[in-house]
Structure 1
Amino acid sequence: MTEHREGGDFTESETMQARSWPCLRQFCVFLENRVGRLSELMRLVEDLDTQVVALSIVDSVDFAMVRLMFSNTDRGREKLTLSSFLFSESDVVGVELPESEKPLSDVCTALVKAELNIHHAYPLLYRRRGRSVVAMYVDDVDTAAQILRDAGFRIITESDLLDDEF
């Protein structure tokens, strides 16, 4: 990836692929509410080298916001950048749900104790050792990941998504 600076200087930035810090990258794609638009998006992004590992759609009368995560974040970003779709990116925390009676409640309780808000959450199409994973957009990803790790939860990173099959 090349970044442009004032004065015409160019600098190569490091890739973020397979990063192991405690976050996942979420892409939020704007879609007009027209028949076939979601299908167009899926045809564009899904390929042998890139799988959609999470999908959430927020619909309104005129448009929809589609939240996506990819098995290969850099490749997903490249495909979206080369497309005509408008999109933004943000960090989310991915947490493996524990084997307990109330796994989501356990995760939420740990974050509430730290006074962190969950703005939205959705499941990933990713399982490790038979356990589900949920992605959460929170006030502070780094703090949330540390709180959850300290409480005994396993945090999912982009490296995990690259290494596993779905």
Structure 2
Amino acid sequence: MESDDGSGAATKFDTMRGRNYPALRQFTIFLENRVGQLLEVVRRFEGTGIRICALSINDAAECAFVRFLVNDADRGREILERSGLALIETDLIGVQLPEGPQPLLRVCTALLQAELNIIQTYPLIVRPLGKPAVAIMVENIEMAMETLIEKGFTIITEGDLDDNPTIDQ
């Protein structure tokens, strides 16, 4: 898959895992639903240069599902695995929200027109490229990526999360 970044040069999306789309990697961990558990996870990244770029917490009676994106997924996974935390890794699409009224409506409409179901979405804490963005899980990531690019949306890559100058290391 290729995208034109406006400079006339096509950007080729090939990942180290052999994928041809720039997916963001979400980690889901399960925590006991008690005071201080999230702090313990966040502290594991202290002093590593790894930043949490998006966060979503869904809680149940006994546990909480914590979903997050970090600026360096490979190193983030290593830290979590060394900590003994069970995790699930899932691919998401990062989409820069367009200017104007109802930007999320425009993203949802584009995906609806392609008959793609949105499974989950949440905002990024950081502003890649200086603009608001969301992380979206869909049924068919390749089709969603193609659709959004064709409709003129800017896709956020893991590199965009790492190059965010608005957050202190």
Whether TM-score is above 0.5 comes out as yes
TM-score, normalised by the number of residues in structure 1: 0.85
Greater relative contact order structure (CA < 8 Å, 6+ sep): 1
Please list, as runs of the form range in 1=range in 2, the aligned pairs for 1:117-132 lying within 5 A after superposition.
117-132=117-132
Q: Is the 8 A contact 1:124 1:133 kept in 2?
A: yes
Secondary structure of the residue aligned to 1:45 is coil
Alignment of 1:10-89 (within 5 A): 16=16, 21-89=21-89
> TM-score normalized by structure 2?
0.83
**Amino acid corresponding to residue 103 of structure 2 in structure 1:** P
Partners of 1:21 and 1:46 in 2: how far apart?
Answer: 30
Question: Could you list the runs of 5+ residues in structure 1 that have no partner in the other structure?
Answer: 1-14
Same amino acid, percent of matched pairs: 48
CA deviation profile, 1:14-64 (whole Å, cap 9, x unmatched):
x949x9832100000110112111110010124341000000000011000
Partner SS, residue 22 of structure 1: coil
Say if 1:104 and 1:49 are closer, same or farther in 2 by CA, change over 3 A: same
| Runs of 4+ with >4 A deviation | none
CA RMSD of aligned residues (A): 1.8
| Gap runs ≥5 in structure 2 | 1-14
**1:136 aligned partner:** 136
Q: Following TM superposition, by how much is the alpha carbon of 1:140 offset from its aligned partner in structure 2, in angstroms?
A: 1.0
- The answer (yes or no) to whether the contact 2:71–2:162 under 8 Å persists in 1 is yes
